[in-house]
Amino acid sequence: MTTDRYSRQVLFAGIGEEGQDRLRRSRVAVVGCGALGSMQAEMLARAGVGFMRLIDRDFVEESNLQRQIMYEERDAVESLPKAVAAVDRISRINHEVISEPVVCDMNYANAEELISDADVVLDGTDNFEARFLLNDAAVKLGKPWVYGAVVGSYGVQMTIRPHETPCLRCVFPDMPPPGSPTCDTAGVILPAVAGIATMQVTEALKLMTGQPERLHGALLQLDVWENRWTKAVLGQCDPGCPACGLGRFDFLTARSGQLATTLCGRNAVQIAPGSRKEPKEPKEIDLEALVTRLRGVVDVNYNRFLVRFRAEGYELTVFPDGRCIVKGTEDSSVARSLYARYIGG
């Protein structure tokens, strides 16, 4: 470990030499490498965290550059997967950090494996279904995780230590109803992202340096535009909570068929093939073979990470794990039909 690199951080009494050594030996999983996740990853890399697994299903687009600070224009031009682009940047920021890109959709079949060896998990997702899934996996495995969400100029943050603090489902028993504000309807500004990501990383640093007593123990809410900051102190775990109270992990239960997810702010639907609990034997699409089949039918662009083409007025992006993002619709039936027509079973 380079002594000078972390000298100012070591001088900070809250970390010191011992804390820095703990950070060097820590393993972090960042789930989602969008606005929150990309900022979390950069701060953690600069802080000297030893290992980061960066998990994201998506690729970089021009509209990301306003708020997703790890990415550059060339990443959008090349349509790089966000996890890959983030790891490339980390290698330029801090070569001492080991970072692993995982280009996949976190779902019931792989969630536990993806976070099983992490000391702390950070939430960079953009929807509550993914957060409830992450909550179930973290509570089941006893992994502390740091929740955060932003829309418009407003953000919330909470740190969850399974069976020590309320979990996400204790505080939010139900997912927000359809029609709730999203970045598609309300937009989002970078200062709000920075505020929540900063709190998430600070809480993670406290956990990794062995100082849980310094966690704020609340649901923090801020609105950077309206100059509001509130702190709702959390109570005890809810004994009736399906996850931490009853040990029932609904979101880890297998569901048959394709998984369709409307993507925040994208006017797009992701279609993922029905998953089997066989993470050691993933079924991947041969992208070159797919390109060969599509040529002559549609105009195709591709690299080793993805295939992209337009069909019937929609843009389809296909990944090696069989996922497809259908842009131009929020109707899952339309997306499924296009998937079946151009990609197959």
What distance in Å separates the CA atoms of residue 269 and residue 328, rounded to the nearest whole number?
A: 8
Q: What percentage of the chain exceeds 90 in pLDDT?
A: 72
What angle, 0 to 180 degrees and rounded to 10, lies between the N-to-C axes of helices 35-47 and 82-93?
A: 20
Confidence at residue 277, expressed as pLDDT on a 0 to 100 scale: 42
Residue 322 CB: number of other CB atoms within 10 A?
21
Tokens of 205: 């640093």
3-state secondary structure of 334: helix
**Residue 333 confidence (pLDDT):** 76
Strands (E), 113-237: 120-123, 145-151, 154-160, 218-223, 228-233
Q: Residue 2: its pLDDT value, please? A: 60
| C-alpha closest to that of 38 among 65, 16, 20 | 65
To the nearest 10°, report the CA torsion of 9, 13, 18, 24: -30
**C-beta atoms surrounding 225 within 10 Å:** 12
Q: Which residues contact 142 (CB under 8 A, 6 or more apart)?
A: 162, 163
Ramachandran angles phi, psi of 130, nearest 5°: -65, -35
Both structure tokens of 74:
């060339």
pLDDT at 42: 98
Q: What is the pLDDT of residue 281?
A: 47
Residue 276: per-residue pLDDT: 42
pLDDT in tens, 51-95: 999 999 889 999 999 999 999 999 999 999 999 999 999 999 999
Catalytic residue among 33, 167, 170, 183: 183
Name the CATH superfamily for 4-233: NAD(P)-binding Rossmann-like Domain (3.40.50.720)
DSSP state of 230: E
Cα angle value 231/172/132 (rounded, 5°): 120
CATH 3.40.50.720 positions along the chain are: 4-233
Listing DSSP states for 248-275 in one string gives --GGGS---S-EEEEETTTTEEEEEPPP
User: By three-state DSSP, how is residue 246 classified?
Assistant: coil
Residue type, 150: V
CATH number of 257-342: 3.30.310
Rg (CA), the chain: 20
Q: Which residues of the chain have pLDDT under 50?
A: 179, 256, 275-281
pLDDT at position 209, please? 98
For 126-160, give the DSSP string.
Answer: SSHHHHHHHHHHHHHHT--EEEEEEEBTEEEEEEE
Q: What angle do CA 309, 312, 316 make, to 5 degrees?
A: 30
Question: How do 324-327 and 314-318 pair as beta strands?
Answer: antiparallel
**Pairing status of strand 268-272 against strand 300-302:** unpaired
**Start and end residues for every CATH 3.30.310 domain found in the chain:** 257-342
User: Can 183 be counted among the known catalytic residues?
Assistant: yes
